């Protein structure tokens, strides 16, 4: 159950630099490729001749050529040519609105008439030389809402990420959740604590001591359809915490774009953007490696959780105060999905 009239990250540009890419988004098999002008195109991954996946074909002079019998497709979904055959009368296949922006390729799987590129989130860090970004992609066998739950309730860090970002103070410090329109925010602020290993690395990366007490913050922002941006960081204790001068803190934004593949699988585009020591490529690589290990620790937990929920669908789950962020995010989604299904008048969903 997910929104269709919304922008989702489909892939990263490097995935389609020289070949077509097949990827299912919201249960819809789509092929992505670059046309003759280098602009990304997106079509149904279905050859109108015999139903073969077009993603198994090739791109020749900007035309997508089916790998089965050589049918050539245009970026608009219309057939162009086929060796020894007349095919221009074939009905076109579906084409999808697609935009390359902020280092990602975005697709709109719903009503093309409602697609508006202005609704793609404004990722201020993506095109700013004062910021550095490193990230990756995981394919995970779970409902996309389980990942939203995971990211909106960071108390799991104490247990799943005990050797990297977890610490007991997360359990000891209550979080506060607020909903404004379609946006849900869960915040936690910890004062005068010992930084965990990952944040010691970040402090050193900003030329700060890693053996002093710090103030730490976690501010999780959910936006539909399935984006979570998390402001995280530490500052030397007593210097203002979240509002401290940049010289005494290490702060970042954890970037989470969650794209449903099916009811029980997702494409998870993760990363971290930081605005300190942005030109240090070695630091970017170290942080990316650290983030990759942290996120990989979630994989088994989420997939096994999904398996349990499928095995016992009738069992009710507890809802505690720490679950407020995920619960409120699901309420926003339920409302928007219900409106979309009945065709109620509503603004198309922005991911920002």
Q: Give the C-alpha separation, 184 to 324, whole Å.
A: 10
pLDDT, residue 91, reads 84
Domains of the chain, start order = 8-117 (2.102.10.10), 121-342 (3.90.380.10)
pLDDT, residue 105, reads 98
Question: CA dist 186 to 45, 123, 176, 244, Å?
Answer: 39, 20, 5, 20
- The stretches of 206-262 forming alpha helices (DSSP H) are none
pLDDT digits (tens, 9 = 90+) for 148-167: 999 999 999 989 999 999 99
pLDDT, residue 36, reads 85
pLDDT, residue 251, reads 96
The percent of residues above 70 in pLDDT, for the chain, comes to 97
Residue 189 is encoded by which pair of tokens? 């602020």
Of the spans 47-51, 120-124, 208-212, 295-299, which averages the highest pLDDT?
Answer: 208-212
Strand, coil or helix: 308: helix
The percent of residues above 90 in pLDDT, for the chain, comes to 84
pLDDT, residue 344, reads 57
pLDDT, residue 132, reads 95
Pairing of strands 227-236, 214-223: antiparallel
Q: Give the C-alpha separation, 77 to 236, whole Å.
A: 56
| Strand-pair partners of 73 | 64, 79
Q: Give the C-alpha separation, 195 to 212, whole Å.
A: 8
pLDDT band at 349; cut points 50, 70, 90:
low
- What's the mean pLDDT in 88-113? 94
CA 149 to chain CA centroid, Å, is 14
Nearest to 105 by CA among 40, 44, 56: 40
Q: Give the C-alpha separation, 316 to 264, whole Å.
A: 19
Sign of CA dihedral 331, 319, 188, 166: negative
Q: Give the C-alpha separation, 299 to 257, whole Å.
A: 15
Mean pLDDT of the chain: 93
pLDDT band at 249; cut points 50, 70, 90:
very high
Q: Alpha-carbon dihedral of residues 194, 195, 196, 198, nearest 10 degrees? A: -170
């Amino acid at each position: 159950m997910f929104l269709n009239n919304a922008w989702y990250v489909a892939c990263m540009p490097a995935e389609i630099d020289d070949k077509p890419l097949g990827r299912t988004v919201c249960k819809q098999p789509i092929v992505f490729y670059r046309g003759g002008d280098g602009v990304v195109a997106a079509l149904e991954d279905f050859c109108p001749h015999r139903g073969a996946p077009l993603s198994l074909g090739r791109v020749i002079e900007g035309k997508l050529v089916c790998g089965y019998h050589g049918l050539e497709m245009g970026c608009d979904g219309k057939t162009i040519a086929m060796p020894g055959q007349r095919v221009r009368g074939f009905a076109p296949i579906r084409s999808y609105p697609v935009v390359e922006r902020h280092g990602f390729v975005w697709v709109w799987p719903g009503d093309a008439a409602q697609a508006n590129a202005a609704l793609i989130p404004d990722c201020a860090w993506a095109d700013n030389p004062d910021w550095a970004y490193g990230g990756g992609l995981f394919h995970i066998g779970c409902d996309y809402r389980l990942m939203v739950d995971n990211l909106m309730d960071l108390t799991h860090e104490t247990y799943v990420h005990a050797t990297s970002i977890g610490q007991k103070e997360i359990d000891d410090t209550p979080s506060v959740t607020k909903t404004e329109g379609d946006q849900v925010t869960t915040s936690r602020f910890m004062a005068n604590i010992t930084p965990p290993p990952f944040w010691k690395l970040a402090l050193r990366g900003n030329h700060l001591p890693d053996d002093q007490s710090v103030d730490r913050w976690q501010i999780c922002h959910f936006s539909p359809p399935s984006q979570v941006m998390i402001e995280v960081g530490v500052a030397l204790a007593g210097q203002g915490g979240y509002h401290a001068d940049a010289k005494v803190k290490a702060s970042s934004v954890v970037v989470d774009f969650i794209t449903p593949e099916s009811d029980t699988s997702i494409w998870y585009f993760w990363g971290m953007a930081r605005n300190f020591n942005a030109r240090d490529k070695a630091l970017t690589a170290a942080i990316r490696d650290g983030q990759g290990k942290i996120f990989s620790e979630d994989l088994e937990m989420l997939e096994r959780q999904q398996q349990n929920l499928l095995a016992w669908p009738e069992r009710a789950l507890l809802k505690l105060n720490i679950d407020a962020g995920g619960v409120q995010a699901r309420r926003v989604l339920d409302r928007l999905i219900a409106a979309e299904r009945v065709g109620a008048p509503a603004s198309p969903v922005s991911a920002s």
